[in-house]
Amino acid sequence: MSPVTLSRYLIEQTRSNNTPADLRFLIEVVARACKAIAHQVQKGALGGVLGSMGTENVQGEVQKKLDVLSNDILLEANEWGGHLAGMASEEMDNAYQIPGKYPKGAYLLVFDPLDGSSNIDVNVSVGTIFSVLRCPDQYLSQNDALNEQAFLQPGTSQVAAGYAIYGPQTMLVLTLGSGVIGFTLDRELGSFVLTHENIQVPQSTAEFAINMSNQRHWEAPVKRYVDELLTGEEGPLAKNYNMRWIASMVADVHRILTRGGIFMYPRDSREPSKPGKLRLMYEANPMSFLIEQAGGASTDGHQRILDIKPEGLHQRVAVFLGSKEEVERVTGYHQ
């Protein structure tokens, strides 16, 4: 049988599930941008793209050269197509306005252009995370600058989300709200090809991912839960667990979608005024959408992440996501 490319899959979704044509075009443009980013990532030192820019983003984090390059690739690929009313990125202080010479569309695109970029210099898998929202009608004026309030929608409003992972293979993992599918980049064809259908997260697991170096800063429910994991068969969970921590959310979530597990990035006492480390709009919401569509669960320890109403573009949040049984257990400890 001939391979099912991303384009063919999206066309079939347009016919069978009434996926809007402009959403199909938008996803294809994002995928093309991800192919361009993959090319730059894989050049590494040969392309002169490693190392720091010497600047900081709005989060106060040092920007890598590839952070800025990836951000520019996504902006330039998506600004002219007429599918978007605006964009927002982890690497930019404010929302990106579509230049006036281009038509505006009905959607909003938010993204983390290169998640895990602190690992790029040591050749560890990194990725691009994206989320698509429908722009509320009151913000769709062709003449006015887009109000950032248009982006502040709960994760339940997402119409699509996904990530590209740049590892031994480049993959695109996607949900349009009816399950999760995975495509692998065939470099001979130059296309993403469907390789993983109906991805499901196992309900239970024996793997967890957390940065143990922060243990002394955790809140009591997280300490209790991890202590129980570490006691293994002799403890209350009566099971031996393995720990995995890549420090690249894309890579850790990809592992969970592949074979199960729980990923945790809790709030801690170092910055008590902040509810967590990860960004709600650019990381937690799209990944939570994917995990839930694959049968898993995602909370901030107290509530479902997708139900949180954002108050700002760069809002942070604690994250517990993955196999439902374990997410529900650690969430219960918080309550």
Position 51 scores a pLDDT of 75
What number is the average pLDDT over the span 106-111? 97
Q: pTM of the entire structure?
A: 0.95
Token reading at 282 = 């650019």
Strand partners, 179: none
What number is the average pLDDT over the span 34-41? 95
Position 11 scores a pLDDT of 95
Q: What is the pLDDT of residues 273-307, one digit of tens each?
A: 888 999 999 999 999 999 999 999 999 999 999 99
Q: At what angle do helices 285-293 and 249-259 cross, to 10 degrees?
A: 10
Q: What is the pLDDT of residues 53-92, one digit of tens each?
A: 666 666 666 677 899 999 999 999 999 999 999 999 999 9
245 vs 80, 197, 219, 261, 270, CA distance in Å?
39, 26, 20, 11, 20
Domains of the chain and CATH, by start: 6-196 (3.30.540.10), 207-334 (3.40.190.80)
Position 103 scores a pLDDT of 92
Cβ neighbours, 10 Å, residue 303? 12
